[in-house]
Structure 1
Amino acid sequence: MSGPAVQSRDPRSDAHRERLARAALTRVFEPGDERGGRWLREMGPVELMRRLTGGDGPGRLLEGASTTRLAGCRLRASDVDPRRDLADVTAIGGRFVCPGDREWPTQLDDLGDARPIGLWVRGAPDLRLWALRSVAVVGARACTPYGAHMAASLGAGLAERGWVVVSGAAFGVDAAAHRGALAAGGATVAVLACGVDVAYPRGHTELIGRIAEQGLIIGELAPSSHPTRSRFVMRNRVIAALTRGTVVVEAEYRSGSLVTARNAQRLGRHAMGVPGPATSGLSSGVHELLRGEGTLVTDAAEVAELVGSIGDLAPVRRGPVLPRDRLDAVTARVLDALPRSGAMTVPDVARGAGVGADEASGRLYELHSMGFAEREGAGWRLAAQPPAAADDGLP
């Protein structure tokens, strides 16, 4: 996949001024602020920043803004330095992607006024192209070994099928999904609730570094910004909107992962869940999702079948094919008529199977050739060692 397009840096261009204004606004408004998003849509980033930093009277500054809200926004706006932020992200090999850029994932526009003001991106691949074929894998931080195994298996399986695995780089399921994709040599994206230059949680410094080298780190917050509880919650809407579907692996009733899945449903994306033990509290939220409009999945093939194109079909699931499954109905009845111990004459077998003696005799010799029956004097009995089960793919 080709890399992102070069962004305009001509300080005289409208595009550059808009980029600076949007970069500044990522420090003014919290992620998902719909009121701020409406102001941005109505007047554009440059005019919005002018009103926040200029000397306009509060009465005409921003429609619907309370005095307290206005004071908070202006206080933040007075201290921003977008040129420094853009330089800082460039220094770590990153960039700032805005709506309208070639690299902007247009599916984020489905969020309406809650869409990101822009995205800070770290890593070489093209975000728009990667997002076109991406799946979110999310779940409990304090997951069980089963949850970690399933997340890693899904991450690896999806990566091997050419899907980009998106998650939040948190402990537990998120980390397992990222590691599964990385181990398979595949593509993965971490959506952070902090600056893309901040390793959070700190215990995942190495993992986040690997993702930055092999995949992408993205976030709505300017460099050096720290995470908060509300920022984690709002981060989930980006994960849901960015991807074709969200898979939840282990989640309690109150879970940010379920928030992501429900956001996905509201946006018309697929919401999927991996079932677990009915006695496990960590599976209770997933099961609640599955009782609603969520779809049960157990591996990467089933996920790809749901979110992929026509032809991305999961293999047909079936148990082993037993040799007696190949028998026609009459031969099967003759076999069922044979005793478990001792021997039985042909007329007795015929009566038990409800067929004529000649028919029974012919079927008995057929069963003998297949290893199901043995002859004992004038009688017939079941073979001591019947044919073993086989899984040869036959229906």
Structure 2
Amino acid sequence: MNEEHIARAALARLAEPGDTAMGAALRVHGPHEVLRVLQSDGPLPPEFRRRDPAGYRVRLGGPSAADDLATVARLGGRFVIPGDRHWPTQLDDLGDARPIGLWERGPVPVRHAALRSVAVVGSRAGTDYGTYVTDELARGLAGARWSVVSGGAYGIDGAAHRGSLAGGGTTVAVLACGVDVVYPRGHDRLLARIGETGTLVSELPPGCSPSRVRFVERNRVIAALSRGTVVVEAALRSGALITARRARDLGRSVIGIPGPVTAPQSAGVHQLLREEDTYLVTSAAEVIEHVGLIGEDLAPRPSGPTRIWDQLPPEATRVWEAVPPNRSVDAETIARDAGAAAQTVAACLADLEAGGLVTRETTSTEQGEQRTWRRTTVN
């Protein structure tokens, strides 16, 4: 751990996530100089504009960078910063809103997990439909070796993490609190499992509690880490829609899964789907088609069941439809009902019989043998 790690760890205590003034100052002056100025009584650099320095300096008496780094190390975690080999460079797309650093906990570095990753987000009050669809989607992504990124919350987030784990995949929970803080409390076992097999990640130092603003800013990290964001269920006012629009601003794919048109839990998704550059999907394969390699990760085209008569030419179809299923008729009757010449009907009936679509019956009469035809029952 070098001096830049220590300086950035200290600054992560002083600034809130998404602080673009801090980001601009770091870009121009570097972490050592910014920290030195904040620890002094002098004015802040011009990049902070009208920010009151007291808002940063009031936190100077909190836990030290050394304490935070030691805490995350005891948890088996790490603190990664821009320029590290484990830094996920897609976060650089956030510009001055890029995290000061990331606190990680888990065996899989977030850079590795995010190389092939999809964000799956949605309502905290997910319906049975929404949680089922999310579980199936996450399992499918895991089976195709795509990581699932979400926020660790109740509802759709939790279903996304569980589905990925059940499918043997890697899942990343981006938290709005420290990686040593269990929130929500009801997900203590889920978050523990993610920390054992995947990655818990936060830009907030250990011990930090969640807040509404931190949840909102957390969404930009979810969007930036992933190649695309899938929204399963979201009301008209939903944090999931914020994540989707952050993803669109970053040039990532924005994807929605429709729900019942009468369900308020899907109203936000449906509104999103009406916007430009939003894709409607129904399966993991269709998600991968949008976030994967062009021309290679194509989803199979869905189609209904194929029937043997689907392949018939138009003339044979007319003849086949003129053959009743519940009684036998002669060729003249079939020709009249089909509006086809006798020679055409004879040729079509021969082909239909060979294909098992009609059955020929022969009866003896005073005038000789009479041939009639009946449609064959085909499943």
TM-score, with normalisation over the residues of structure 1? 0.90
Corresponding position of 2:33: 47
Q: What secondary structure, in the 3-state scheme, does the structure 1 residue paired with 2:131 have?
A: helix
Q: How many residue pairs get matched?
A: 370
Which of residues 66, 82, 87 is equivalent to 1:83?
A: 66
Task: Indicate yes or no: 2:292 matched with 1:308.
Answer: yes
Q: Deviations over 1:172-229 (max 9, x none)?
A: 1011110011111111100000000111001111000000111000000000000000
Corresponding position of 1:71: 54
Instruction: Measure, in 2, the Cα distance between the counterparts of 1:233 and 1:68.
Output: 21
Which of residues 322, 332, 349 is equivalent to 1:364?
A: 349
Deviation at 1:362, TM superposition (A): 3.0
Deviation at 1:361, TM superposition (A): 2.1
Deviation at 1:93, TM superposition (A): 0.3
Deviation at 1:123, TM superposition (A): 1.0
Deviation at 1:171, TM superposition (A): 0.3
Matches for 1:93-242 after TM superposition, within 5 Å: 93-242=76-225
Which of residues 333, 340, 354 is equivalent to 1:348?
A: 333
1:263 counterpart letter in structure 2: R
Deviation at 1:275, TM superposition (A): 0.4
Q: What secondary structure, in the 3-state scheme, does the structure 2 residue paired with 1:77 have?
A: coil
TM-score, with normalisation over the residues of structure 2? 0.93
Deviation at 1:64, TM superposition (A): 6.1
Alignment gaps of 5+ in structure 1: 1-8, 10-15, 389-395
Q: What secondary structure, in the 3-state scheme, does the structure 2 residue paired with 1:182 have?
A: helix
Q: What secondary structure, in the 3-state scheme, does the structure 2 residue paired with 1:76 have?
A: coil
Instruction: Measure, in 1, the Cα distance between the counterparts of 2:51 and 2:347.
Output: 95
1:186 counterpart letter in structure 2: G
1:301 counterpart letter in structure 2: A
Which of residues 378, 387, 392 is equivalent to 2:378?
A: 387
Instruction: Measure, in 2, the Cα distance between the counterparts of 1:47 and 1:364.
Output: 90
Q: Deviations over 1:97-117 (max 9, x none)?
A: 000101111110111110100
Deviation at 1:297, TM superposition (A): 0.8
Q: Deviations over 1:267-317 (max 9, x none)?
A: 000000000000000010001111112100111100111101131111121
Instruction: Measure, in 2, the Cα distance between the counterparts of 1:381 and 1:46.
Output: 93
2:200 counterpart letter in structure 1: I
Task: Indicate yes or no: 2:282 matched with 1:298.
Answer: yes
Instruction: Measure, in 1, the Cα distance between the counterparts of 2:330 and 2:373.
Output: 9
Deviation at 1:336, TM superposition (A): 1.8
Task: Indicate yes or no: 2:10 matched with 1:19.
Answer: no
Deviation at 1:360, TM superposition (A): 1.4
The 1:338–1:72 alpha-carbon spacing in structure 2 relative to 1, beyond 3 Å, is same
Which of residues 289, 313, 327 is equivalent to 1:328?
A: 313
Q: What secondary structure, in the 3-state scheme, does the structure 1 residue paired with 2:52 have?
A: helix
Does the 8 Å contact 1:49/1:77 carry over to 2? no
Instruction: Measure, in 2, the Cα distance between the counterparts of 1:72 and 1:359.
Output: 90
* Identity between Structure 1 and Structure 2 (%): 52
The 1:154–1:189 alpha-carbon spacing in structure 2 relative to 1, beyond 3 Å, is same
Corresponding position of 1:275: 258
Does the 8 Å contact 2:25/2:48 carry over to 1? no
Does the 8 Å contact 1:93/1:123 carry over to 2? yes
Q: What secondary structure, in the 3-state scheme, does the structure 1 residue paired with 2:29 have?
A: helix
Which of residues 299, 302, 326 is equivalent to 1:317?
A: 302
Which of residues 7, 24, 29 is equivalent to 1:38?
A: 24
Instruction: Measure, in 1, the Cα distance between the counterparts of 2:52 and 2:347.
Output: 92
Instruction: Measure, in 1, the Cα distance between the counterparts of 2:26 and 2:60.
Output: 14
Q: Deviations over 1:309-332 (max 9, x none)?
A: 131111121000112112222211
Corresponding position of 1:284: 267
Deviation at 1:21, TM superposition (A): 0.9
The 1:67–1:108 alpha-carbon spacing in structure 2 relative to 1, beyond 3 Å, is closer
Alignment gaps of 5+ in structure 2: 364-369
Deviation at 1:357, TM superposition (A): 1.7
The 1:95–1:341 alpha-carbon spacing in structure 2 relative to 1, beyond 3 Å, is closer
Instruction: Measure, in 2, the Cα distance between the counterparts of 1:67 and 1:267.
Output: 27
